[in-house]
Amino acid sequence: MSLIIPKTDKRTLDKIKAAIQAAYTEGESKLKGNGKTDPALSVLKTPLRGGDAERPDDEAYANAYFINANSGTAPGIVDNQQEPQPITVRSEIYSGVYARASVNFYAFNSNGNKGIACGLNNIQKLRGGEPLGGKSRAEDDFATADEDDFLS
Q: What is the pLDDT of residues 51-86, one digit of tens each?
A: 999 999 999 999 999 999 999 999 999 999 999 999
How many domains does the chain divide into? 1
Task: Indicate whether 143 belongs to any domain.
Answer: no
Q: Which of 74, 71, 52 has the alpha carbon at shortest distance from 63? A: 52
Confidence of residue 121 (pLDDT cuts 50, 70, 90): very high
What predicted TM-score, i.e. pTM, was given to this entire model? 0.81
pLDDT of residue 147: 59
Cα 93 versus chain centre, distance: 13
Strand stretches in 69-97, DSSP E: 76-78
Task: Indicate whether 148 belongs to any domain.
Answer: no
Q: Is the pLDDT of residue 133 over 90?
A: no
Cβ-in-10-Å burial (0-12, 13-18, 19+) of 97 comes to: middle
* Mean pLDDT of the chain, nearest integer: 90
Task: Indicate whether 129 belongs to any domain.
Answer: yes
Going by their DSSP bridges, the two strands 113-127 and 98-110 should be labelled as antiparallel
The region that residue 18 occupies, defined by phi over 0 for left and psi between -120 and 50 for alpha, beta otherwise, is alpha
For the chain, the C-alpha Rg in angstroms (whole number) is 19
Task: Indicate whether 103 belongs to any domain.
Answer: yes
Q: Is the pLDDT of residue 152 over 60?
A: no
Q: Is the pLDDT of residue 99 over 70?
A: yes
Task: Indicate whether 150 belongs to any domain.
Answer: no
Average pLDDT, integer, range 29-41: 86
Here the CATH number for the domain that contains residue 21 is 2.40.50.140
Task: Indicate whether 144 belongs to any domain.
Answer: no
Average pLDDT, integer, range 9-31: 96
pLDDT of residue 111: 87
Task: Indicate whether 64 belongs to any domain.
Answer: yes
pLDDT of residue 146: 60
Which domain, by its residues, includes 75?
2-137
Task: Indicate whether 10 belongs to any domain.
Answer: yes
